[in-house]
Chain A
Amino acid sequence: MTSKVLSYKKYKFKQKIIPYIFLAPNLLIFTIFIIFPALIGIVYSFTDRTLFTFGNANFVGFQNYITIFNDPFFIKALWNTVGLALVTVPLMFVVSLLLAVLLKQPIKALGFYRATYYWPVMISAIVVGIIWQWILAGNYGLFNTTLQGLHNFFKSLGLVSSTFTPSPTLSDGRFAWIAVVFAILWSRAGYYMIIFLAALLSIPVSLYEAAEMDGANKFQKFRFITYPSLKAARTMVLILVTMEVFKIYPLVVTFTGGGPFRATEFTVQYIYKVAFQHYQIGQASAMSVIMLLIVTTFSGIIFFLSKRGEGQ
C-alpha cells in the first residue's frame, strides 16, 4: 500500500518537473538566440547605437522611427514588401490548393508528378535565384528564346507580322518584381500543396459519396465539402505564407540583387544594408520593430477572420 502511494507521489513529481528538463535545451536556445535578441532589438530601436558602439548607446526616444519614416528607401522597401505579401499570399494559396486538388485526380504517373511538383522546395533559395536569373538573363536566355520561338511560330501562321524584340527581363523594374512573385510561387507551392494534400486525405470519402447520390457535380462537391473541410489547413497556409513573404531575402540576393534601382529591394535586404553597410543599428532595429508589428498584425487579422467564420 505504501509503495503505491509513494509511486503516485513520484509520478506526480515527475509529471511536473521532468517535462521542463526535456524542454530545457530548446527553451534555452530560444531564449538566448531569439527572444532575448528581439527584446534587445526593441531597446536598440530607441538608441543611437551603431555597429561601432562598444559601450552604452544614448537614448534618443522615437528619433529613429521618425528618421526611418522619412527615409524614401525604407518606404519603398516597405511598399514593395507589403505589396508582395498582398499579391503573393492569395496567389500561393490558390496555386497550392489547386495543385493539391489536381493531384487527387486519376493521373498517370501521379507519384512522379507529385515528386516533381515538390522538388523545388528542396532547392536552396540561393540556387533558385540563380536558376531563374540564368533563364531570364540576356537576349538569348531560355525565356527570350522561347518567346522568340513562339513569336516565329505565330508569324508563320500569319497571325503576327512584326519583328521580334527581346524582352528586357530583369532590367525592367516591373518585370523583375513580377518575376520575384513567380519565383516564390514556383519554389514554394509544393510545400503548401503537401499541407493541403494531407488535409484533403483526411476528408471522409463517404461525404463525397453521399453528395454524389444527391446529384452534386464536381464544383458543388468542392464548394460544399472540400473547401469547408480545409479550414485549419487554410488558416495555417495563409499565416505561414505571410510570414515567409515578409522574410524574403536570399532568393532576391541571387535573383535580382534588389535591382534594378531597388525595384525588388524588400525590407529584410534594406534592414541588412542599414545595419551592416551603413552601420546604423538603432535605425535598423526600429525597422525591425515596425516589421514585427506589421507581420503580427497581418497574421492576427488572418487568424481572427478565420475564427470569426467558425459559425459555419
Chain B
Amino acid sequence: MKKVLLFLVTALFALSLIGCDNGGEKELTMMWWSDGTEGFVMQTLLNRYEEETGVKITLVSTPYNEYEQRLATMISGGKAPHLARVTEGHLNNFQDQILDLDKVFDSTQFKNLFFNAAGKVIALPMDITANGLFINKDLLDKYDVNYPELGDPVWTWAEFETEMNKLRDKEDVTAPGIFDHQAHRFMPLFYQNGVTLWDTPYTTSNLTSTKAVATLQKLMDWYDNGFLSNQTYVAKNSAGEFRKGTYGFHMSGNWNVSAYQNLPFSWTVVPMPKGETRATILGGKSMAAFANSGAEKEAKAFITWLAKGVNHDQFTNGVPYLTPRLGAQVNYGPFAEQYNVFLDEIANTSNEHITDWLDQVMIPGMYPIINLLVENAANPDQTKTALQLLQELEAQLKDIMD
C-alpha cells in the first residue's frame, strides 16, 4: 500500500513538471490571431528580435472568435498579456487597460492611428484593411457568369445580381454568395448608395433615411431568397465556407488574400459593384501593450523596434498587407493583381465616407450593436422591418454616446 502511494506521488510529481513555468529571464507573451500567414511572419520577426536583443517573446495564437473574450478574462484574471494584436474594436473596449505609447515611436510616420481620451497614441498601426469582393473563378467561368476586372467599367448592383443569379439551384453551388457575419462587411453598401451614417456625428444620423432602409431591405431580401447563404450565421466562419468551393462570391477583405493562397480552386478579387458611388471601408490592426503586465518597459522597447522602417516593412511585405507606414513600398509579389484591386477601391472612396466611418468606429461598444443589425436582417424568423431595425440601431448608438 505504501509502495503504491509512493509510486503515485512520484508519478504525479513528474507529471506536474509539465505544467511548470520557467522563471528567470523576462519572457514576454504576445497575444495573436491569424487569418492566414501573418502569424508565421510575426514569428520570424520575433526570432530576429531575440537574436538582436536576447529578449524572448512568445506568440500565443488564439482563434479569432474567442480572441477578445480571452483578452478580457486574462486582464480580469490578473494575467494581462504584455503585447497583443488588436483591432480598433479592441482598442475601444480595452482603452483603460492599454499603455499609452507617447514617445515610444514616431507617430507622424503612420496613418490609421488611435488615441485615448487624453489624446495619446495607444497602438502601433501594423496593417490597413479594406473590404472587397472575392470570386470563385472556376465556378463563375463554369456557369458563364460575367464579371469586370480591374480597368473594366465597374458593375452596378443590379448587374451583379443578374450575373450571380446564374449560379442559383446548381448542384455544386450552395448559394450564389456569402458575406462575413460581421456588419463591417455590409457597411460599404450604405456608402455606395450615397448614405453617410452621420450628418452631425452622434446627434443626427441618416440611419433611418429612405436610402438606408432600401439598402438594408436589399440585404434582407438576399437572405430571404437564398442569394446569400445563411450558413454565415450558423458557423460564423464564412472564410471556411468559401474554401469549400461552393459559393460564387465572398464579401470580405484583403486579409484573406494571403489566407486563400492554397485554395484548390481558382479565385481572384474583382471590383465591388457601385451604387451611386464606389466605396470601401478601411480598418486595420495594431500592436498594443497592456498595463500591469509586469514587463511594461520591455513591451514598449519592442514596439519601438517594431516601428522602425526595416522591421515594420518586413511584416507588411511578408504577408503581404497594405501598409500604414508613410512612404513604405510593399512588394505584393504574387498577389499584386488582387492588391491592385484593393488599392483601386481605396482610391475611389471619397474622403467624406472614410472620415464618416472613422466617426462611427469611435463609439465605444458599437461593434456588437451593428453586428446585431445584420444578424437580425439574416434571421428568417424575426419579424421587424428594415426601418424598425434601423430605428433600433440608431436609438442604441445614441444611447451609448450619452
Interface residues of A (CB under 8 A from B): 51-52, 170-171, 173, 257, 259-261, 276-279
- What distance in Å separates the Cβ of A230 from its nearest Cβ neighbour in chain B? 40
Which residues of B lie under 8 Å from residue A171 when comparing CB positions?
A: 230-231, 234
Contact status of A276 and B69, CB under 8 A, knowing A171-B234, A260-B233, A260-B234: yes
In residues 77-124 of chain B, which contact A (Cβ within 8 Å)? 93, 96-97
Which residues of B lie under 8 Å from residue A173 when comparing CB positions?
A: 381
Q: How far is the CA of A12 from the CA of B382 in the complex (A)?
A: 69
- What distance in Å separates the Cβ of A93 from its nearest Cβ neighbour in chain B? 31
Q: How far is the CA of A51 from the CA of B375 in the complex (A)?
A: 25
Q: How far is the CA of A279 from the CA of B380 in the complex (A)?
A: 29
Which of B72, B233, B234 is A279 in contact with, Cβ under 8 Å? B72
Nearest chain-B residue to A171 (Cβ)? B234
Residues B68 and A277 in contact, CB atoms below 8 Å apart:
yes
Nearest chain-A residue to B372 (Cβ)? A73
Residues A259 and B233 in contact, CB atoms below 8 Å apart:
yes
Which residues of B lie under 8 Å from residue A277 when comparing CB positions?
A: 68-69, 72
Q: How far is the CA of A58 from the CA of B247 in the complex (A)?
A: 51
- What distance in Å separates the Cβ of A257 from its nearest Cβ neighbour in chain B? 8
Which residues of B lie under 8 Å from residue A279 when comparing CB positions?
A: 72, 93
Which of A51, A52, A257, A261 is B381 in contact with, Cβ under 8 Å? A261
Q: How far is the CA of A173 from the CA of B234 in the complex (A)?
A: 11
Interface of chain B, helix or strand or loop or mixed?
helix
Q: How far is the CA of A261 from the CA of B232 in the complex (A)?
A: 11
Residues B72 and A51 in contact, CB atoms below 8 Å apart:
yes
**Total B residues in contact with A, Cβ cutoff 8 Å:** 19
Which of B76, B368, B375 is A278 in contact with, Cβ under 8 Å? B368
- What distance in Å separates the Cβ of B92 from its nearest Cβ neighbour in chain A? 12
**A51-B76, A171-B230, A259-B234 are known contacts; what are 8 more A-B pairs with Cβ within 8 Å?**
A171-B231, A259-B233, A261-B233, A261-B379, A276-B72, A277-B68, A277-B69, A277-B72
Nearest chain-B residue to A73 (Cβ)? B372
Q: How far is the CA of A276 from the CA of B75 in the complex (A)?
A: 12
Which residues of A lie under 8 Å from residue B379 when comparing CB positions?
A: 261
Which residues of B lie under 8 Å from residue A257 when comparing CB positions?
A: 234
Nearest chain-B residue to A259 (Cβ)? B234
Nearest chain-B residue to A278 (Cβ)? B368
Interface presence of B146 (CB below 8 A): no
Interface presence of B73 (CB below 8 A): yes
Q: How far is the CA of A273 from the CA of B110 in the complex (A)?
A: 36
- What distance in Å separates the Cβ of A275 from its nearest Cβ neighbour in chain B? 10
Q: How far is the CA of A252 from the CA of B97 in the complex (A)?
A: 33
Q: For B69, B73, B97, B380, which residue has the most chain A Cβ atoms within 10 angstroms?
A: B69
